[in-house]
Structure 1
């Protein structure tokens, strides 16, 4: 059983690697400039990182201690924020008017508002994580703030991705988005159950 758990790593590699590899073979790349391509792949990588985050916090990935899970989760959060900057910055560089419309929620494209909301939620989590000690946020308070923002990131990020008809292949994109939702949902349910059990133990 323990040996079977390590199959999670190659499964994760396939879940992340296949959509990226298929996007790299997209015919649409021939019509895009290097900055636009970089911005697009930064968004794809960001979605892949969103899948990894709940797996880390839920202790699903084998071979990592609880402390290592938290540390890697923290650092990947920073990389996720950086990927968001590259994604938005690259799109701004290639088409400032479109980005202004998106940031002001006046874009005609249906995927834009979801992407902007996810972006601000990512930046908010990264900022609060960096200032957590200075603000004196306790673990309970941090979770009350972080968990709703994480849900916003996941839901809006997935909807944003699914609505875009871009370089990502349809089936692999849908599968990756489904895995992101499933992993996040499982971890949220597990955390809720642990909290209920702890409450029951304290009350007895």
Structure 2
């Protein structure tokens, strides 16, 4: 059997609206989009140049958050720009690429996964496949973040519950629908145990832990 998330993807796509933070996030631009008289010097007052494009300075992440993120990242990567901005930069440079994994999750609305209304040509993997990619990334140790101790679950288990909670809220679905939708790509029993820990009412990763 092949991918089994198509029906759930279609339902999500029919009912999904881009979160406000996705719609309102300032976009990277080319120099000429800043005005006919714009120069690199004038642009540098409000933007930073990244790979030939100009990103609003307000999109830069706080240095402390960047440092903390690098400490918890398995490869020590420090991201000065949020995932949404990085995805948009990538799209502007490679418009035919399809975003997947955590990049696609950011586009759908994950803050802490919809084609972007400001970038309607930006292609991303469908909702369930995006979640599958992210869970595989967590379970393989390719991606992580800091979590408190003493939850009774493994670190990867806590992160997986937080992720499924967040994406279920964004997509407006019941986590119990996921074991079937993910069955051909992820172990069904493992997904059943995972979703049994999920709390649909959790509004944030910290609420999930509570």
TM over 0.5: no
Compare the two structures and name the one with the higher helix fraction: 1
TM-score (normalised: structure 1): 0.27
Larger relative contact order (C-alpha < 8 A, sep ≥ 6)? Answer: 1
TM-score (normalised: structure 2): 0.27
Compare the two structures and name the one with the higher strand fraction: 2
